[in-house]
Amino acid sequence: MKKGGFSIALMLALIIGCATMESMSVREEKYGKNPPVIHKIYASPEFSRHEDWKIYLKGSDPDGDLKSVVAVSTRGDISPMVSKMELPEGNRKEFSGYLLWRPGNLAQDFMKGEFTIQLQDMAGHYSNEMKVSFTLTSRAVQRPPSSGEFEDKQIGMIMSEFKDIPGHKM
């Protein structure tokens, strides 16, 4: 999908503050200097508001110290929401699978939004940003990726909910 946009790393720094326990140089000595990479991402552009949306991704870290997946959801001019999912121990070097997102009971037909996905490693490096956009429609059928392109295993659940705000124009 699309690349670029605002920096999740900057957003997390503002939210979390400067509460780092070790300096970057100490963490790089311990874990390595290479940032993680998202190699591929896919999500059906339309899906029903009555189902969970799957965002498939493949990522790796040359140093083998992947830590988490960060997803920032945006919808129009509504404030972004951040969701951070820790990767299971066996996925520190590379992984393939999907994130699930449940739009919530208040989601409406033709609601549009976007997620910016990034990986973080133990040293504190962030990967390239990848974006996926969606439109909710009652009759949409979610299209899966090509067979064999990604593993069919859940790697996390995005914990954010879009709500229809009265008077808000998309």
Letter string b/e over residues 148-159, b meaning 16 or more CB atoms within 10 A of that residue's CB: eebeeeebbebe
Residue of higher predicted confidence among 10 and 113 = 113
Distance CA 114, CA 74 (A): 5
pLDDT in the model for residue 8? 61
Fold of 2-17+34-158: Immunoglobulin-like (2.60.40)
Output the CA–CA distances (angstroms, integers) from residue 118 to 42, 44, 109, 123, 140, in the order listed.
14, 18, 28, 15, 27
Q: Name, of 9-18, 79-88, 89-98, the range with top average pLDDT.
A: 89-98
Report whether pLDDT(4) > 50: no
Residue of higher predicted confidence among 18 and 58 = 58
pLDDT in the model for residue 63? 95
Report whether pLDDT(15) > 60: no
pLDDT in the model for residue 34? 95
**Tens digits of residue pLDDT in 43-87:** 999 988 788 899 999 999 999 999 999 999 887 666 678 889 999
**Tens digits of residue pLDDT in 119-157:** 999 999 999 999 999 888 888 889 999 999 999 999 999
pLDDT in the model for residue 153? 93
Mean pLDDT on 88-107: 85
For the chain, the average pLDDT equals 82
Residue of higher predicted confidence among 160 and 30 = 30
Least confident of 33-37, 39-43, 103-107, 124-128: 103-107
Beta-sheet strands, E only, within 91-144: 94-101, 112-121, 130-136
Spans of all domains in the chain: 2-17+34-158
> Contact 125/38 with Cβ under 8 angstroms?
no
